[in-house]
Amino acid sequence: MAEIRPFKAVRPRKDLSEKIAALPYDVYSREEAAKKVEGDKYSFLRIDRPETQFEPTHDMYAKEVYEKAAEMLEDMQKEGSFIQDEKPCYYIYELTMDGRSQTGLVAVSAVDDYINNVIRKHENTRKEKEADRIRHVDICSAQTGPIFLAYNSNPAVKAILDDIKMSAAEADFVSDDGIRHRVWVISDDKYIDAITKEFEKMPNTYIADGHHRAASAVAVSKMRREANPDYTGDEEFNYFLSVLFDADELKIMDYNRVVKDLGGNTVEEFIEKLSEKFDIEKIGNNQYRPAKKGEIGMYINNNWYKLTVKPEYVKDDPVEGLDVAYLQREVLDPVLGIKDPSTDDRIDFVGGIRGLSELERRCSLDAKAAFAMYPTDILELFAVADAGKLMPPKSTWFEPKLRSGLFIHKI
pLDDT-derived band at 124, boundaries 50, 70, 90 = confident
Question: What's the pLDDT at 299?
Answer: 98
- Rounded to whole angstroms, how far apart are CA atoms 212 and 41? 27
Give pLDDT tens digits for 2-18. 999 999 999 999 999 99
Q: What angle do CA 392, 148, 258 make, to 5 degrees?
A: 35
Is 90 exceeded by the pLDDT of residue 96?
A: yes
Is 90 exceeded by the pLDDT of residue 388?
A: yes
Question: What's the pLDDT at 26?
Answer: 85
* H/E element, 132: helix 127-140
Q: Give yes or no for a contact between 186 and 87, defined as CB atoms under 8 angstroms apart.
A: no
Question: What's the pLDDT at 393?
Answer: 84
Q: Give yes or no for a contact between 392 and 381, defined as CB atoms under 8 angstroms apart.
A: no
Q: DSSP alpha helices (H): ranges in 44-83?
A: 45-48, 63-78
| Closest to 404 (Cα-Cα) out of 10, 121, 63 | 10
DSSP assignment of 177-191, as one string? TS-EEEEEEE--HHH
Q: Which residues of 77-101 are buried (b: 16+ CB within 10 A; e: fewer)?
A: eeeebbeeeeebbbbbbbbbbeeee
Give pLDDT tens digits for 25-45. 888 889 999 999 999 999 999
Is 80 exceeded by the pLDDT of residue 97?
A: yes
Q: How far is CA 367 from CA 130, 236, 273, 290, 376, in A?
A: 31, 48, 19, 20, 24
Q: Give yes or no for a contact between 208 and 381, defined as CB atoms under 8 angstroms apart.
A: yes
3-class DSSP assignment, residue 392 = coil
Q: Give yes or no for a contact between 239 and 5, defined as CB atoms under 8 angstroms apart.
A: yes
Question: What's the pLDDT at 305?
Answer: 98
Adjacent-strand bridge partners of 100: 97
Is 80 exceeded by the pLDDT of residue 126?
A: no
Question: What's the pLDDT at 276?
Answer: 96
Give pLDDT tens digits for 211-244. 999 999 999 999 999 999 999 999 999 999 999 9
3-class DSSP assignment, residue 116 = coil
Computed over every residue of the chain, the mean pLDDT equals 96
Is 90 exceeded by the pLDDT of residue 342?
A: no
Give pLDDT tens digits for 261-311. 999 999 999 999 999 999 999 999 999 999 999 999 999 999 999 999 999
Is 80 exceeded by the pLDDT of residue 106?
A: yes
Residue type, 26: D
Residues with Cβ within 8 Å of 368's Cβ and at least 6 positions away in sequence, in order, are 259, 260, 261, 262, 300
Q: Give the chain's radius of gyration (CA, Å).
A: 23
Mean pLDDT of 253-257: 96
Is 80 exceeded by the pLDDT of residue 354?
A: yes
Give pLDDT tens digits for 359-375. 999 999 999 999 999 99
DSSP assignment of 248-289, as one string? GG--EEPEEEEES--TT--HHHHHHHHTTTEEEEEEESS---
- Rounded to whole angstroms, how far apart are CA atoms 345 and 284? 28
pLDDT-derived band at 129, boundaries 50, 70, 90 = confident
| Closest to 279 (Cα-Cα) out of 303, 257, 312 | 312
Residues with Cβ within 8 Å of 47's Cβ and at least 6 positions away in sequence, in order, are 69, 72, 73, 76, 140, 144, 405
pTM higher than 0.85: yes
Phi, psi for residue 284 in degrees, rounded to 5: 100, -140
Give pLDDT tens digits for 161-220. 999 999 999 999 999 999 999 999 999 999 999 999 999 999 999 999 999 999 999 999
Mean pLDDT of 313-329: 94
Question: What's the pLDDT at 257?
Answer: 97
- Rounded to whole angstroms, how far apart are CA atoms 166 and 169? 9
Is 90 exceeded by the pLDDT of residue 155?
A: yes
Q: Give yes or no for a contact between 245 and 208, defined as CB atoms under 8 angstroms apart.
A: yes
